[in-house]
Amino acid sequence: MSIAELEQTTALRIILHLYKENKASRTDLRKNIEASTAAIYNALPKLRNLGLIEETKEEAFPFTVEVTLTEKGKKVASHLFEVEKILAK
């Protein structure tokens, strides 16, 4: 796996959103990230396969899927956050 997997803009937005919020449901991601639902749902498996996120499904109704960063994902996100701060200057 390489950084090419993260070139998809939505993947980077998801990582940064999770870094700032600690966790999010798929619904939260759809509401808070400027991207299509399809783009978000295409990015999630890539991020999971890279070991950057974990998804857990609630056992009871409403069966929410919660997305969080793994330790590896937090490391990547912290670097991306620093890049974002540099670019904002």
Domain boundaries, the chain: 3-88
CA distance linking residue 86 with residue 63, whole number of Å: 39
What pLDDT was estimated at residue 42?
93
Confidence of residue 2 (pLDDT cuts 50, 70, 90): low
- Give which of 39, 73, 34, 38 is closest to 55, Cα–Cα: 73
pLDDT reported for residue 16:
94
The reply to whether CATH 3.40.50.150 applies to domain 3-88 is: no
pTM of the prediction? 0.87
Q: What is the mean predicted confidence (pLDDT) over 6-34?
A: 92
